[in-house]
Amino acid sequence: MPIPSERDLLARLLMVGWRGGSIASLKRLLKRCPAGGILILRHGDVRETARFIRALPKGLLVAADVEDGLAMRFPGAVPHPSARAVGATGDPRLARLQGLAIGTACRRMGIHLAFAPVVDVNSNPDNPIINTRAFGEDPALVARLGAAWIRGCQDSGVLACAKHFPGHGDTRTDSHDRLPSVPCSLATARRRELVPFRAAVRAAVAAIMTAHVAFPALDGRRPATLSRRLLTGILRGELGYGGLVVTDSLRMKGLAAEYDEADAAVEALNAGCDLLLDPTDPEAVLDRLVLAFRNREMPWPVGALGRLAAARRRLAVRGPLPRLDEASVRRAVARKSVTRRGGPLPGRALRDKPSLWVLLNDGSAPQRIRDFRAAVIRRFPRARFSGSG
C-alpha cells in the first residue's frame, strides 16, 4: 500500500457537501481532492440515496443532517417530531428512543455521522433559525434530553454530533445569512449555553459542531469557529472534550461574508477544529492547507488526524443493528408532545371543551400544514382554522 502524501493526509480533514449528481462526478472530485468525508445534503429519495451511498468509495465518512430524521433530507423516509416536540414531552426516555430510531435508520442507509442533536438553548424568542430545532429554553432540560438523544443515537452504532458550540440560541440573526453576535458574559454562557454541551461531553458525544457566531465577551476578535479561546480553551480545556470538532458549513454567509474561505479553513484548524465542512471550493481549500503547513502558518494536524482515526475505530466495533419500529417511536413522541400550559393535555379535553388551535406557517412546509389540517378535521370535524395554510 503506497504511503499517503502530505496533500492526501491534509485532504482527510475535509468533508465535501454533496447536492446531487453522478457517482462518476463525485469520484472525479475525490481524485483531485481525496476528502475524508461526504455530507449528503441532497441526492434523491431515500432508496436512491441508499444505492448512491453503497456505491461510494470505501473509507469515506458519510454524514447527513437528520435532526428530524432522514426525511429532513430524503423523501420517502420516516419524518420525526422536532426537538421542540421532544422537549414538550420532557421525557429523556423518549429522547433516547428518538435518537436510537434515527440512528438506526441512518445505519441502515449507510450513514456514519448524524449531524444532530441541536443542543442550543433557545433563550431568545426572536431567534429566526434555532426555535423549534431546540429542545427548549431551559438549559437543564436541553442538557437532559440532548444527552439522552446522543446516547440513543450512538447505541445504534451511528456517531452523534451536538451543535452549535458554544450556543446559537440567543441570536436574532441567521448565520446562513450573516454573522450573528451573542451579547452574553462568560458567566452567563457557563450557566446557560454551556450546560447542554457539558452534558453532551459526559455522554461521550463523538462530534461537536461549531457555530458561526460571535461572542464578543468571550473572544473579541473571532467567531466561535475560528476562536482558539473558545474551541481549545473552553471546549477542550474547561469542558474536557476529546472528540471531533466539526465546523458548520464553510459556505454559510455568517463566515463566508467576513472571511476568505481558504484562509478561514486554516484559522479553524489552528483554533481547534478537526473537520472542515462543506467548502465551496474543496481543491482551493486543500491547496491553501498545504501552503499553510509548508509556510509554517499552521502545525501538522496530528491531533485532528488522530481524532478522525479514533472516530473511525468507534465505527469499526459496532454491535448488531437494533430492532425497533421507527414509526411507533414517532407516534409516541407526537402523542406526548401535545401539551397545555402546566402539563400534558388530557385525552378527552379536545372532545369535551371548546379549544383554540394556533397554526404557525412560515410557508416552508405547505404539505405538512395541509396534512395537519386534514388530520385535525378527521378527528374534530367542527374545528375552525384561520390564517395561511
Write out the catalytic residue numbers.
176, 248
Paired sense of beta strands 244-246 and 159-165, if any: unpaired
Q: Is 21 left (phi over 0), alpha (psi -120 to 50) or beta?
A: left
3-state SS, the chain, equals CCCCCHHHHHHCCEEEEECCCCHHHHHHHHHHCCCCEEEECCCCCHHHHHHHHHCCCCCCEEEECCCCCHHHCCCCCCCCCCHHHHHHHCCHHHHHHHHHHHHHHHHHHCCCEECCCECCCCCCCCCCCCHHHCCCCCHHHHHHHHHHHHHHHHHCCCEEEEEEECCCCCCCCCCCCCCCECCCCHHHHHHCCHHHHHHHHHCCCCEEEECCCECCCCCCCCCHHHCHHHHHHHHHHHCCCCCEEECCCCCCHHHHCCCCHHHHHHHHHHHCCCEEECCCCHHHHHHHHHHHHHCCCCCCCHHHHHHHHHHHHHHHCCCCCCCCCHHHHHHHHHHHHCEECCEECCCCHHHHCCCCCCCCCCCCCHHHHHHHHHHHHHHCCCCCCCCCC
